Amino acid sequence: MQLVLDLDADTLQRAREAAEAQGTTVESLVREFLERIANQHVARELKTLWAASPGNSEGCAWRREDASVDCL
């Protein structure tokens, strides 16, 4: 998927210089930044779900072997 950004020339030039100093491209920097933001969003959603879950095993102890589909 393509994304078009509207940047002023100075910002783009500084981004190119920063990318070059890091041995990468502006495209890679933007991709990594957006992936990091997306992953942080997912992590926040998971934390919210975990906080809302009672997580109560009612005292039952589970072993790895017990967790197979056949045992549930």
Q: Give the model confidence (pLDDT) of 7-53 as tens digits.
A: 999 999 999 999 999 999 999 999 999 999 999 999 989 889 888 88
Listed in sequence order, the DSSP H helices in the chain are 9-21, 26-52
Say which residues have a Cβ less than 8 Å from residue 19's Cβ, sequence separation at least 6: 25, 26, 28, 29
Closest CA to 55 of 66, 47, 63: 47
pTM above 0.75, yes or no: no
